[in-house]
Amino acid sequence: MNAPIPASHLAPEIKPRHIPAEFIDELKTRFGDQCSTALAVREQHGRDESAFVSIPPPSVVVFAKNTLDISDAVRIAERFSVPIIPFGVGSSLEGHLLAVQGGMSLDVSQMNKILSINAEDLTVTVQPGTTRMQLNNELKSTGLFFPIDPGADASIGGMCATRASGTNAVRYGTMRENVLALEVVNAKGEIIKTGTRAKKSSAGYDLTRLFVGSEGTLGVISEITLKIYPLPEAISAAICSFPSIESAVLTTIQIIQMGIPIARVELIDKNTVRMVNAHTKLTLSEQPLLLMEFHGSPDGVKEQAQSVQEIAHEHGGEDFEWASTPEERTRLWSARHNAYFAAIQSRPGCRAISTDTCVPISRLADCLLKSVEETEASSIPFFLVGHVGDGNFHFGYLIDPNNPSERETAEQLNDKLVARALSMGGTCSGEHGIGLHKMGFLIDEAGEAAVDMMRTIKVALDPKNIMNPGKIFSFTTK
Amino acid sequence: MNAPIPASHLAPEIKPRHIPAEFIDELKTRFGDQCSTALAVREQHGRDESAFVSIPPPSVVVFAKNTLDISDAVRIAERFSVPIIPFGVGSSLEGHLLAVQGGMSLDVSQMNKILSINAEDLTVTVQPGTTRMQLNNELKSTGLFFPIDPGADASIGGMCATRASGTNAVRYGTMRENVLALEVVNAKGEIIKTGTRAKKSSAGYDLTRLFVGSEGTLGVISEITLKIYPLPEAISAAICSFPSIESAVLTTIQIIQMGIPIARVELIDKNTVRMVNAHTKLTLSEQPLLLMEFHGSPDGVKEQAQSVQEIAHEHGGEDFEWASTPEERTRLWSARHNAYFAAIQSRPGCRAISTDTCVPISRLADCLLKSVEETEASSIPFFLVGHVGDGNFHFGYLIDPNNPSERETAEQLNDKLVARALSMGGTCSGEHGIGLHKMGFLIDEAGEAAVDMMRTIKVALDPKNIMNPGKIFSFTTK
């Protein structure tokens, strides 16, 4: 870096800063009932779905009801140099919500209005606390939908912050491709629009995409304009069982390489099938399977499905089982989305350490199979699901949080997996983000100079280091 | 801004800085024949396709052959605080290449190797001087193609820098969606990779998209990894003539709103048809027309074309004329791509001032028709072409560069058009960039606080203001 790193950025990543009583008083005066210091409220805001060791909760939680609330909360925190941790529904998997330097949790879950649906332009503008399922419920009557679906019913604001994706990304892209514009509150409390509703633009730096994936470290997202899509004329979903993970993966690679516009293609390994069956009372055959969905015109869907069935047969896949009614499809995809929770319940008291590598599709089999072998050789129970059409997959190592040796084994497995993915031109995180625990992987992946460029941007836009400090990169260790 | 703006950024936008003789000497020692101070070479590098008043050319041109050349040239320029203007093929339309503060033109046109084609992953890695047509020629044997096609045979590096798009963007997206990763040389001369070949990633700030559209102001792009696509099984192109621009536009709006995955849908007004006929010996009917292309399976293409023909008929469109052989299609699309040059030749000695607004599709008719009316009421000859499926269109005002009153009229027409587009939720630039002359429009569009955020990033990443200074935003006037 050119400029020296300011002292504000040089606090150890995990060390609460001093929170002045005057700060809390001022928040209470401004926010009244929208401000809480109750321990239960603070504790609920000091954790997420990750498996990280617990950290003391934030000192205070502010419930924002509108953009002005966010702006005022940021201005007060800025004056006292207090960290701000934006909070949606708490479904992060990478420790994004942990108050590692103490401070204020800024809960936007009550900002959950759909502000405008522009059906004719295929855009919608929402507040950040809107969840993806809520949005799709409200869109239902318009014949439109929003495809991005991380497992949890996450908030749209959180999905922007982590650059989330999910099962439909293979066809519809991720939050990177589907956020048209944001309103954000910067570290000074100013309200900024990062784009317009035009479908494309060459007007200046792409601030929208700078904020998408910034994990709350550059500002607070207060409004989001998204692309939405006409519900396909025809949709059909199919399950195909395979003799091995390899045959399922090779089928996937060929589907993608042939350019078949499949909407979803998800791998579920046999462990996970067992867990999902137990959790959801389904009776899926306990073999590796691909869960697929085809979108298009009735003829187009038939054409796609036929091509995919032929490819699957070539690799030893069985005949498709079809789910054509909306109810059957919903049941199937709910099972997929609940795989994480089904897995957690399969080992009472466990926490899941979830991996998130993503590799170029041609390297998927190499990367995945070697890691399956290593994981099976360990004693750690695991599940494996994958957005394999994108080259992205998740091992979930189901560890006993009180057994340090299990955690260590899981970390070693993940280290090997990430190193393998990076050596194949892949990334350490396809969709969960860096958060607290992948900072070293980010340096391995991007290099010190690229991470320094990120740090330089952070220092410039947040000179007091109040926006979710201690996430993505460290300033104290390189 | 929090931090004061450094003196380096406060030079008037258009005022050559002092270029020390030692700087030129050092470049000559390092680069020998790859370095030129010949007037003809400098003049060729001091202009682009824009209609801006001429500015003295750069003091020196360096021809880079590899990334190390770029890095060394930047390091030398950085030591002497000399501006660096990256140069591809010179096809910019917004004055990006003009040496408004003097300095060095860094020509990357000799860096035009295709470094690797990963057909199985649908990615390609190229040097920045590779042109889009060269890339597609080299991809031909693989059955793959790169869809982004600004009118000129632009360099891929320049297309990244301006976030270019073109006729295929309606289906395939713009450079924003199609650049997977970059190698860039930052303002210190360090070489940085901004991403991997993975299809998606949540690993840290999206540096790739920060550089895409940064117009050379943050660093020099030295390598690009792009998405490529399987050539569609079937392609057919059709021309449809309409009684009015309005009926052509209403047809387009309906095509998009119905979600028909049309690959190209271009509006050409009757003026432009006349100019193109004269320039290319075509005999298109002198009416407003839509030039369309359909990609997909043979059945899919038929289905799309049939739906579109029905919509067109409803709006008074005539029967499609088909171009199904590759030769006919090439002839047609060459005519479209040469519309700009055909227009220029229609008025010898003229320069074109090209507008570039883009609006949400539902507002396209309102925005466009009102502006056609205003332009027809002026005395300025014009052409009108549009990537109407994206809501983006270009008026070209064909002005006599020696007649200040024509320039003024054209600027007034553009001012009105931009104000109208912004009031409709659109952008002042869909694909050409801000460059020298749209800085005021950018502030109108994004607001002072958003532009300040861009300035803050620029100051942080380029503290000596050497990377293409004086473009996108001003530091001296707000």
Classify residue B16 as exposed, middle or buried by CB count within 10 Å of its CB (0-12, 13-18, 19+).
Answer: middle
The H or E element containing residue A28 is helix A21-31
What is the rounded average pLDDT of the residues A96-113? 97
Query: Out of A128-137, A328-337, A466-475, which region has the weakest mean confidence (pLDDT)?
Result: A328-337
Task: Indicate yes or no: CB of B197 within 8 angstroms of CB of A426.
Answer: yes
pLDDT higher than threshold 80 for residue A441: yes
Q: Which residue type, as a one-letter code, is found at position B67?
A: T
SS3 label, residue B368: helix
Taken in order of first residue, the domains within chain A and their CATH numbers are 7-109+437-461 (3.30.465.10), 114-230 (3.30.465.10), 235-326 (3.30.70.3450), 347-433 (3.30.70.2740)
Tell me how close the Cα of B412 comes to any Cα of chain A, in angstroms.
20
Name the band, by pLDDT with cuts 50, 70 and 90, for residue A4. low
Of B123, B169, B429, the CB nearest to A360: B123
pLDDT score of A181 more than 70: yes
Chain B positions touching A205 (Cβ under 8 A) are 210, 213-214, 453-454, 457, 472
* pLDDT recorded at residue B3: 56
pLDDT, tens digit (0-9, with 9 covering 90-100), for A198-235: 999 999 999 999 999 999 999 999 999 999 999 998 99
Distance CA A222, CA A185 (A): 7
Residue stretches of chain B with pLDDT short of 70: 1-4, 11, 53, 477-478
A315 versus A3: the higher-pLDDT residue is: A315
Instruction: Give the pLDDT band (50/70/90) at residue A331.
Output: confident
Report, as an integer, the average pLDDT of A314-323: 94
Name chain A contacts of B434, Cβ cutoff 8 Å: 202-204
Q: Do A203 and B442 touch (CB under 8 A)?
A: yes
**Nearest alpha-carbon partner for A457 in B237, B458, B75, B128:** B458
Cross-chain Cβ contact B454/A204 below 8 Å: yes
The answer to whether B149 contacts chain A (CB < 8 Å) is no
Listed by number, the residues of chain A in 371-410 with a beta carbon closer than 8 Å to a beta carbon of chain B are: 390-392
**Chain A interface includes B198 (CB < 8 A):** yes
Contact of A445 with chain B, judged by CB distance below 8 Å, is answered with yes
CB of A456 less than 8 A from some CB of B: yes
In chain A, the residue whose alpha carbon lies closest to the alpha carbon of B188 is: A2
Strands B392-399 and B289-296, bridge-based pairing: unpaired
Return the biggest CA–CA distance within chain B: 70
CA distance A136 to chain B (A): 18
Cβ-defined contact of A427 to B203 (cutoff 8 Å): yes
* Nearest beta carbon to residue A204 from set B164, B446, B463: B446
Ramachandran region, residue B9 (left: φ > 0; alpha: ψ -120 to 50; beta: rest) = alpha
Q: Taking CB atoms and an 8 Å limit, are A193 and B162 in contact across chains?
A: no
8 A C-beta contact, residue A271 and residue A383: yes
Q: Minimal Cα–Cα distance from A43 to chain B, Å?
A: 27
Query: What mean pLDDT, rounded, does chain A reach?
Result: 94
Instruction: Give the distance from residue A204's alpha carbon to the nearest chain B alpha carbon, in angstroms.
Output: 6
Q: Chains A and B: how many Cβ contacts under 8 Å?
A: 283
Report how far apart, in Å, the C-alpha atoms of B73 and of each of A12, B59, B108 are: 38, 14, 12
Tokens of A63: 């419930």
Closest approach of chain A CAs to the CA of B369, in angstroms? 18
Q: In what order do the strands lie in the sheet with A351-354?
A: A321-323, A234-241, A289-296, A264-268, A382-387, A392-399, A351-354
Confidence band of A3 (pLDDT split at 50, 70, 90):
low
Query: Between B191, B201, B431, which is nearest A427 by CB?
Result: B201
Dist CA B119 CA A253 (whole Å): 12
Query: What is the model's pLDDT at position A477?
Result: 62
What is the structure's pLDDT at B15?
A: 84
Nearest CA in chain B to A422: B196
B433 close to A (CB below 8 A)? yes
Q: Closest Cα to residue A57, out of A8, A19, A7?
A: A19
Distance from CA of B198 to the nearest CA of A (A): 5
List, in sequence order, every beta strand (DSSP E) within B13-113. Answer: 35-36, 60-63, 84-87, 104-107
What is the pairing mode between strands A289-296 and B60-63? unpaired
pLDDT at residue B259, rounded to an integer: 86
**For residue A326, what pLDDT band results from cuts at 50, 70 and 90?**
confident
Dist CA B395 CA B388 (whole Å):
12
Strand partners, B114: B126
Phi, psi of B178 (to 5 degrees): -110, 0
Q: How many CB atoms lie within 10 A of CB B461?
A: 21
Nearest to A205 among B122, B438, B454 (CB): B454
| For helices B245-257 and B364-377, angle between their N-to-C axes, nearest 10 degrees | 160
Q: Which of residues 297-356 of B touch A (CB under 8 A)?
A: 297, 299-300, 303, 356
CB–CB contact A230 B258 (8 Å): yes
pLDDT in tens, A223-278: 999 999 999 989 999 999 999 999 999 999 999 988 899 999 999 999 999 999 99
What pLDDT score was predicted for residue B338? 85
Strand positions, DSSP E, A69-121: 84-87, 104-107, 114-118
Find, in chain A, the residue whose alpha carbon is nearest to that of B5. A460
Distance from C-alpha of B192 to C-alpha of B189, rounded to nearest angstrom:
9
What part of B 203-232 touches A (C-beta under 8 Å)? Answer: 203-207, 209-210, 212-214, 229-230
Find chain A residues with C-beta within 8 A of B195's C-beta. Answer: 427
Residues, chain B = 478
Residue A51 has pLDDT above 80, yes or no: no
Is the Cβ–Cβ distance between A98 and A56 less than 8 Å?
Answer: no
Which residues does chain A have within 8 Å of residue B390's beta carbon, measured at their own beta carbons? 199-200
- Which of B2, B121, B358 shows the shortest C-beta gap to A198? B358
- In angstroms and rounded to an integer, the radius of gyration of the C-alpha atoms of chain B is 22
Asked whether the beta carbons of residue B196 and residue A454 sit closer than 8 angstroms, the reply is no
Sort out which chain A residues have CB atoms less than 8 A from B78's CB and list them.
none
Bridge partner residues of A125 (DSSP): A116, A225
Find the residue in B nearest to A162 (Cα).
B202
